[in-house]
Every structure is written in C-alpha cells, then in structure tokens.
Chain A
Amino acid sequence: MLKRTVALALGLSLGVSSAAFAGNWTGGDDLPTNPLACDGTPGKAEAKPYDGGVPTNAPDRKAKPIKVVDVPKLIGIGYFNATSKGIAEAAKELGNVEAKTDGPTQANIDQQISFIDNYITSGVDGILFAANDPVAIAPVLKKALAAGINVVGYDANSEPDARQWFVNQAEFNGIAKSLVDNMAKEVGEDASFAIVTSTFTTPNQARWIAEMEAYQAKCHPNMKWLETVEAQEDNVLSFNQATTLINKHGDDLKGLFGMTSVATPATAEAVTQAGKCGKISVIGLATPNAMKPYVEKDCVKSVVLWNPVDLGYAALQVLRATADGDLKPGATSVKAGKLGDLQVINGSEILLGAPFTFTKENIKDFDF
C-alpha cells in the first residue's frame, strides 16, 4: 500500500511540476511572427542569401530521364491526392520524369522517415516530400543529399539545409490574414472563436496559428480566442473535438477555424449536426469538394486555400529545374511550365501565389 501511494504521488508530482514549467502556447516553434498590414498592403519580400542544401557529387542529370518519388505526410486523403495528381500532370508534360507517390497511411514521423530511407537505398534521382516534422525529417533528407539525390519539399518544410528548395503554397502571414479577416467580417469584431488543428507541432498549422494570433492582436484586438484543440488529421476526432467545443462554450462561441483539410469539413459537420448553422461561422483551410455541401447550404461562407494540384505541379517542375541545373542558388525566379515564372523568397523557397478564398459563387468551378 505504501509502495503504491509513493509511486502514484511520484508520478503525479512529476506530471504536475513539469507541466508548470512548460509555459504558455508559443505556436510550437520559436520563430518570430510577421503579421501583414491590416489594410491589405502586400508584405515586402526581403532578399536573403540561399540557405538550402547542396547534394554531394550529384551526377549530371540535364535533360536525362530521372526517377522521382513523392513522399507526402500521408496518403489516401483528398489533399495529397490532389498534389500527387499535379505531380503526375507535370511528369506527363515533361516527358522525362518517372514519378510516383508513396507514403505512410498515417501522418507519422517515424514511418515517413523509413519510407524515405528505403527510397534512398533503392536509388532514386529525386525526392519530393511534405514533412510531418521539420527537424525529425532532416537527418534522412541530409542522407539523401549526401547520396547525390535532388531534394525538394512542398506543402510542409524541413530545416532549410536539409533540402535544396521548398515550394511554399502561400506565405503564412497571408493565410493568417485571410482567415482572420474573413472571420471578423462574418462574426464581428468582438466575437469569440476557437481553433481545431492537427497537432500543435505540425509545422504549417503551428506557424499559421502563431501568425493568426499576431495578426488578430494587431488588427482585430477585441476578438477573443477561447482555445485551440488538437485533432490529429482524423475525421472522427475532429468532429468530436468540434462538438465538444460547441457544447463547452455554448453561446459564447461565434466562430470556429479548421486548420486542416480534414478538420474543416468535420467541424462544419459538427456545427450542422448541432443545429448551429448561421449561429457559428466555420472558416478554414480545406479542399473545395469536401466543403461544397456546407457552402451550398450556407453553413460555411468562406474556405481559404491554394490550389494543391498546382502545388504538386510546381514541386515537380522545380525538382526538374534543379536536376537540370537551371535553378541555382541565388536565382530570383524559376520557370514552372504552365504556371509561368514563380518568385523565389526567403533564400530557398519558391512562392506559389496568394491564397484563394472559395465562396458560394466560385466553388462550383473547382473539382479536387
């Protein structure tokens, strides 16, 4: 009995004391935020020297057929199906790239690392990735660079020196502005809102939330941020978390942000089932197909995203340009097939464009 009590007390005090030291939410990373101006003046792109990595003894691949593997965070969800469709389109257009998508069925850092590791051993020329964790994936990507493989990221970045280029779908502060502005427009300047995200450490979501916090404090200071909950990238869990938020905060809750393409439709479904359509606004990042039912029923008014098909397309174009030696450190833009010239930002990132807001008027025109 004594032993048991001591063990339990130890366990508890360990948990509690550590929790007390952990401090407040800081957005999951320690990078500074850079909120945009409230009135829509575009942010300035600062010139920064190239900070990406360089493959060791990469063979001359100019115009030669290359084998590329794409390892997204996970496979089998609409979003990454769309990026891999874009990759396939670009491969077909280029004609000299053999590309395939393979990855874990869960957004799991360990499995993603194993997949990349196996493809390095099997001998590919290029790797495209969307990182589940920017730091955890770095050692295996550096191993790929050391093996002379061209490495390009898209969607979710790694540490810069672990890959050559990163195709950035939209700048974090741009997405954050778009989300918060739409929310303020729908629910008013003094309303309360909550956020459903994947996990606190997922790089994109963590960054967006940090930028949202900064932008909201700067431009919509009277809005109240109730809380942020984790829901992995899991449909059922997202629905449950959203339902819990609705029940817990009652009439205080005026708006819900969904931070992933899984969380947003699940959150909209939770609001619909709770009979709160029109009372609680849902705004989030999602693919249009998943959101069409809710947008058509007027339950959701704005869905913010970029075009993931274009994102995959651009990623493979950038990889080809890198393998050909056309895209070198220090370049300011790159030709990306039908997308035209894309701008290089932050040293070693390529910007896809400004975020796009889907509304009832335009969502019919998109199918992905």
Chain B
Amino acid sequence: MTATLRSLLRHETILAILLVLVLFALATQSDRFFTTANLLNQGRLMAEVGLVALAMTFVIVTGGIDLSVGSILGLTAILLGVFWHNLGIPLPVAMVLAIFAAGIGGLVNGLIITRFKVPPLIATLATLALYRGLAEGISQARSVRGYPDWFFVLGQGEVLGVPTQLWILGLLVVIAAVILGLTTFGRATYATGANETGARFSGIGVDRTKLLIYTASGLVAGLAGVIFVSRVSTTRSDMGTGLELDVITAVVLGGTSIFGGRGTIIGTVLGLILMQALKNGLALSGVKGDGTIVVIGLVLILAIVASNLFSREGDG
C-alpha cells in the first residue's frame, strides 16, 4: 500500500513541478498571462470540462470510461431550452429537470454496463450517438435564446470577484476529493478498478458503485450543460461535441490509470490546469491553434512516460 501511495504521489509531484515550469515559461513569454483577470477568465473557460472531469476520474478509476458526457451536455442544453421555452416551465424548475434528465442519461449508461455486461467503451459509444441524436431530434434545429438576465449570473457573472462557475467547480473538487480519498465509497471505487472479481468476493457492491458513478457522471455533465448555456446564452444541439476527449485527456494527464485502480482528484485538477494553461499561454505568446494541439499531445506523452520511468525505478 505504501509503495502504491508513493508512486501515486510521485506522478502528482512530477505533474506539479511540470505545471510550475510551464506557468513560469508561459509567464516569461507574455506579460498578459500571469494576471488575475486572465487567470480567473481561464477558470471560467475550464469550468465545464473540469466538472465533468471530476466524475470521469471516478469512472476511469473503476476501469471504465464514459464517452457520452459531451452528448449528455448537449441533450441537457436542449432539454433546458425546451422545458423553459416550449413547455413554459419556470426556468429554475427547468434547470433542475434538465439536470435530472442528464442523471437519467447517466443511469441508463450504468444500467447497460452493469445489467447487460456491455463494456463501458461500447455502451457509452452507443449512448454518445443516441443522446446526440435525441438532442438533434428534440431541438429540430431551433435554438432557444432570450434567457432572463439573472440566469447569466451562472455562466457570465461573478460572486465576490470570482466567476460563479469557479465556486461551483471548487466546491465539487473538495466534495469529490473527500469522497474518493476518505470514504468507504472511494475505497470501493479503487477496489472495483484494481480487481473487480476480488472486489465482488470481498462483498463490495461493485454494480451499485458503478451505477452511482455513471449516474453522477450524467448529473455533472448536465450541470456543466446548464452552465454552458448560461455562458454562451443560447442552446444548440451540437453543444459539447468532442468534450469527452478534453475531459479524458485531463484525467489521464492527471495520472489516473486507464486500466483502473489508480488516480486522484488532485491529479485531475493539476492535469486540467496544465492543459488550460498551455492552451491559453501558448495562444497569448503567439502560437497558433494547431501548434497548441501538438504541444498538448507532446506534454501528455511526456508526463506519462516520465511518470512510468520514475515509478519503474521505484518498483525496482
């Protein structure tokens, strides 16, 4: 246990050092990078990916994957618009209902995976298409616009000088870190990913754990969807396309093993910040968009290779 703990710490330490180096390098490249206004603004831009990445950490720690999060986000956005605009439900209720529907979307994923024993990759690949199709079918190409001003506080406003969604993200980071790191449920999550058969024989409710995690993944994707709608002030059925890739990149960069059983919320947060800092800092120092993607790919490989090298030395 201490050995795994050490290797865990090691990846996060490497990542933290890398992050400091990157922040330092970017700050020397552009004097507009390390300003409070820019950093808070970047926090605003990464909130949606961040929220989904928290739940995705749990999903990947169990050895699973959830590719449908982007589609759930899109579906939530459309449902929010339809509930409020077409059905005339008051907006706060519509928000709750839309997020609830996203939770059902996640629950369906969980049911397909646990009851029908479909591999998560296949199951969520199917629902990725299904939920996006529903979003497009329901929306019938109509964007819903003209939300009331108070609604924009969520995505465009500030509370005590900090973007609203950053508070939400911060709160959920703490909750997720506590659940994964300190509770029985967290240990059940690790056990499920490390050795599912073993976990079953130890009397851990593997299916129940997975079901809850996929439902939570749907719920936060829904929450991110509502925030997204508030940030861009419109709904579109193609919202959140490709979100799953950003999310998975952040989680994997954060040291969560794609084979399950290993990973921390701190790592995910570091991975997330590193990715956003690179995107923003490189753009500010004049690197074009296609160059930025290349750099992010290289950093991902570098971080994982470095971490593997060090942990192998540690094992030997």
* Neighbouring A residues of B283 by C-beta, 8 Å: 102, 115, 118-119, 122
Q: For residue B133, which residue of chain A has the nearest CB?
A: A15
By the criterion CB–CB under 8 Å, are B140 and A136 in contact?
no
Q: Are B86 and A121 in contact (CB under 8 A)?
A: no
Report the minimum CB–CB distance from B298 to chain A (whole Å): 17
Q: How far is the CA of A24 from the CA of B142 in the complex (A)?
A: 10
Q: Is the CB of A106 within 8 A of B242?
A: yes
Chain A residue, CB-CB nearest to B33? A121
As a 0/1 sequence over residues 56 to 86 of chain B, the CB contacts with chain A under 8 angstroms (1 = contact) are 0000000000000000000000010010001
Contact segment of A4-12, A217-225, A272-280, A285-293: A4-12
Contact B279 A22 (CB under 8 A): no
Structural contact, B138 and A102, CB atoms closer than 8 A: no
Contact residue among B233, B234, B284 (Cβ-Cβ distance under 8 Å from A121): B284
Q: Is the CB of A114 within 8 A of B45?
A: yes
B13 at the interface (CB under 8 A from A): no
> Is the pair B32, A122 in contact by a Cβ cutoff of 8 Å?
yes
In angstroms, Cα B37 to Cα A8, docked, is: 46
A18, B138: Cβ atoms under 8 Å? Answer: yes
Measured in the bound complex, the distance between the Cα atoms of B63 and A145 in whole Å is 47
B79 touches A18 (CB 8 A): yes
Residue among B140, B141, B145, B241 with the most chain A CB within 10 A? Answer: B141
Alpha-carbon distance A110/B47, docked complex (angstroms)? 12
Nearest chain B CB to A21 CB, angstrom units = 5
Is there an interface contact between A139 and B233, defined as CB atoms closer than 8 Å? Answer: yes
Q: Which residues of B contact A136 (CB under 8 A)?
A: 232-234, 236
Cβ distance B149 to chain A, nearest Cβ, rounded Å: 12
Please report the C-alpha to C-alpha distance between residue A7 and residue B112 in the assembled complex, in whole angstroms.
11
A199 contacts the other chain (Cβ, under 8 Å)?
yes
A139 touches B232 (CB 8 A): yes
Q: Indicate if A190 sits at the interface (CB-CB under 8 A).
A: no
Is the CB of B119 closer than 8 A to any CB of chain A? Answer: no
Q: How far is the CA of A76 from the CA of B290 in the complex (A)?
A: 10
Q: What are the residues of chain A within 8 A of B41 when measuring CB–CB?
A: 117, 121
> Are B86 and A21 in touch, CB under 8 angstroms?
yes
B45 touches A15 (CB 8 A): no
Chain B proximity of A13: nearest CB distance (Å): 11
Q: Output the residue of A100, A114, A118 with the most chain B CB within 10 A.
A: A118
When A10-B104, A102-B289 are in contact, do A21 and B234 touch as well, CB less than 8 Å? no
B127-151 CB contact bits vs A (8 Å, 1 = yes)?
A: 0000000101111111101000000
Q: How far is the CA of A133 from the CA of B139 in the complex (A)?
A: 15
Chain A: interface residue total (CB-CB under 8 A)? 51
Beta-carbon contact of B143 and A135 below 8 Å: yes
- Measured CB to CB, the closest approach of chain A to B169, in angstroms, equals 16
- Please tell me which one of the listed residues B104, B111, B156 contacts residue A139 in the complex, with CB atoms under 8 A apart: B156
Q: Which residue of A lies closest to B280 (CB)?
A: A118
Q: Which residues of A contact B138 (CB under 8 A)?
A: 15, 18-19, 22
- Cα separation A113 to B232 with both chains bound (whole Å): 9
Cβ contact within 8 Å between B284 and A118: yes
A138 interface residue per 8 A CB criterion: yes
Fill in one digit per residue for B25-36: 1 if any A CB lies within 8 Å of its CB, else 0. Answer: 000001010000
> In whole angstroms, what is the CA distance A201 to B139 when docked?
10
Instruction: Give the residues in chain B near A105, CB-CB below 8 Å.
Output: 289-290, 293
Residue on B with the closest CB to A29? Answer: B143
Find out whether the CB atom of B140 lies under 8 angstroms from the CB atom of A135: no
Interface string of A52-66 (1 = CB under 8 A from B): 000000000000000
Alpha-carbon distance between A95 and B87 when the two chains are bound, in angstroms: 56
Contact A15 B108 (CB under 8 A): no
A103 touches B289 (CB 8 A): yes
B176 located at the interface, meaning its Cβ lies under 8 Å from any Cβ of chain A in the complex: no
Binding site for A on B (CB under 8 A): 30, 32, 37-38, 41, 45, 79, 82, 86-87, 101, 104-105, 107-108, 111, 115, 134, 136-143, 145, 156, 228, 231-234, 236-242, 279-280, 283-284, 286, 288-290, 293
Known: A122-B283, A201-B237. 16 other contacts (CB 8 A): A11-B104, A11-B105, A14-B101, A18-B79, A22-B142, A25-B140, A100-B288, A108-B241, A111-B289, A114-B45, A117-B41, A121-B41, A123-B32, A133-B234, A136-B236, A201-B139
Instruction: Return 27 A-B CB contacts under 8 Å, by A number.
Output: A3-B111, A7-B111, A11-B105, A11-B108, A18-B79, A22-B82, A22-B137, A22-B138, A22-B140, A23-B140, A25-B140, A28-B142, A102-B288, A109-B236, A110-B228, A110-B232, A111-B289, A113-B232, A117-B45, A121-B37, A122-B32, A123-B32, A135-B233, A139-B233, A199-B236, A200-B136, A201-B142
Nearest 10 CB-CB pairs, A to B?
A200-B141, A135-B234, A136-B232, A118-B283, A22-B140, A28-B141, A122-B284, A18-B138, A102-B288, A21-B86
